[in-house]
Chain A
Amino acid sequence: MAILDVQNLTKRFGGLVAVNEVSFGVEAGQIFSLIGPNGAGKTTLFNVLTGVYRPEGGRVLYKGKRLSGLPPERIAHRGVARTFQNIRLFGAMTVYENVLVGQHPSIRYNYLDAIFRTFRYFRAEKKARVRAHELLEYLGLNDRAFELARNLPYGAQRRLEIARALALRPSLLLLDEPAAGMNPQETDEVKHLIRRLRDDLHITVVLIEHHMKVVMEISDRVVVLDHGRKIAEGRPADVRKVPAVIEAYLGKGALEMIA
């Protein structure tokens, strides 16, 4: 069964149809890529999936239950986490605190526990701290745990966004251009990291990415969007041969030039 089922999803802004009747399904354990030229509606689609926007049409099912229409925090509680195209860390908080914030919904104790410092409170807090350090270790950030997030170098900030998203214990992770602005070596690391997320942590990954090398090498399946519409879907090797895709990326006439 598909873990994520997007059905005829439409999102309009005034007269602009940013996402137009898009449907696709993501199987559990897949690495699934969304590609397309700038302005194709990829990030808008992420924003609809995570509850930032309400869709005007269609629906989103996650593990068979409806996600569309829920507020972002409820969607996060269900196990859908994301990162951002433009890094959106809590810059004035430390690296460690950013990861603790990500664990907010999974810490279980009530206010009485917090006020009276019960056993449950200490156990939950300790677990959260241990897990925060594990996550930072996993992403190679432990030695910078107590620096302010805004002082990290760019690549480390991108990794911290992933660590913070993992703190939610997601089963579905949406990564918005995780390799943007990275050099070839860092891009390679991101590629391996995404594979590890799937293989070690059994997380299903949906990815928006412009680095075609990353997309082609790690994706199990690719959907191509252009002007809000789905123009192709399939395995990476197949999608790259579709004429409409080449045209969307290189402009009309590109096919004739190639031919």
Chain B
Amino acid sequence: MSDALIELLPSVLLEGLLLGCVYAMIALGYTMVYGVLGLINFAHSEVFMVGAVAGIEVYRYVGPHIDNPYALAVVAMLVAAGVSGGLAVAIERLAYRPLRKRGSTNRLVPLITAIGVSFFLQDFVRLIEGLWHGEFYMNYPADARMEAVHELPLGMTIQTKSIIVIVVTAAMLLGLDHLVRRTRLGKAIRAVAQDLQTASLMGIDPDRIIARTFLIGGALGGVAGVMFGLLYSQINPFVGFVPGVKAFTAAVLGGIGNIYGAMLGGLVLGTVETLGGTYLFFLTEGAIGNEYKDVVAFLILVLLLLFRPQGLLGRTQGDKV
């Protein structure tokens, strides 16, 4: 019994890492927007969903013309990044900016707006997909080359598509780190996040930087959507909700506003959730199954926030104002 558990551990950790990659990529969108605006952009889960759907359309329309599944996955990710990034910018422009310009200090107003945008996008995508293809439940097509299984040490196996997910996530996280730390845009984003008004007095146009932040966060979310499709195959207009809530949790877990926190929080949450789901099943001999994995994840969150309310990498308050 316990031998089986130990034997299983590396595979479970790998599975958790994959899920964590998806969570981390989505969580960055939440945390970056929170950083510059102090807003929880609940519509971000739908930005992710639209990315997954955009990926499906690439598979539908471009797939037949490209025989190389790796190139196709990359094209799908690029298109999804563009569509989701553009969508995030449009949401900011049409829904949040007008509220900000009115000078309302009530934080609930943009929050409720975000929820409204979220519902709108779910039903809008359902309508469009329904009209376009006659149904709105979609599957990423399986390709034998993407599903190919490779042997790893410690009895682990990994599929080609999983390797792609890990490599793309690592590349995007490193790229984002470079952007935020080294580039002019990154410095401007950090300046706006720390003190929007002072940044504007130093000649930085906050609206422009906020739009760029939504663009970057949205693009990462779109890529995460395609990854999600590649890993779990089934997509529908409501598929954003659960990963969105989890990614938001991951952002809080890591310390909201901190991009490294979002990365870490995503990986931790993905791993803990997968571990919990698998081992609860074994330890209770099937009485509590994998469907309770969310309970484990959120229990960890509650406990962590009791003892470290600012999150894993968050700083205590007083830094921002």
Contacts and interface: CB of A to CB of B under 8 A. Distances in A.
Interface stretch (A102-110, A208-216, A217-225): A102-110
Tell which of B187, B194, B202, B204 has the most Cβ of chain A within 10 Å. Answer: B202
Interface of A: 50-52, 71-73, 76-77, 81-82, 84, 88, 90-93, 97, 100-102, 104-107, 114, 125, 164, 167-168
Contacts of B198: 84, 88, 90
- 3 closest A-B pairs by beta carbon, nearest first, are A105-B203, A76-B203, A72-B200
B195 A90 contact: yes
Nearest to B194: A90
A84 B197 CA distance: 12
A91 B194 contact: yes
Contacts of B226: none
B143 interface: no
B184 A52 contact: no
A224 to B, nearest CB: 26
8 contacts: A51-B200, A52-B201, A76-B200, A92-B190, A93-B187, A93-B194, A104-B204, A114-B184
A73 B200 contact: yes
Contact of B184 (A50, A82, A92, A104): A104
B190 A72 contact: no
A76 B319 CA distance: 25
A107 B188 CA distance: 12
Given A101-B202, A104-B202, A168-B203, A72 B187 contact: no
Contacts of A73: 200-201, 203-206
B191 interface: yes
B199 interface: yes
Given A73-B200, A168-B203, A90 B190 contact: yes
Contacts of A164: 202
Given A73-B203, A76-B202, A92-B319, A101 B197 contact: no
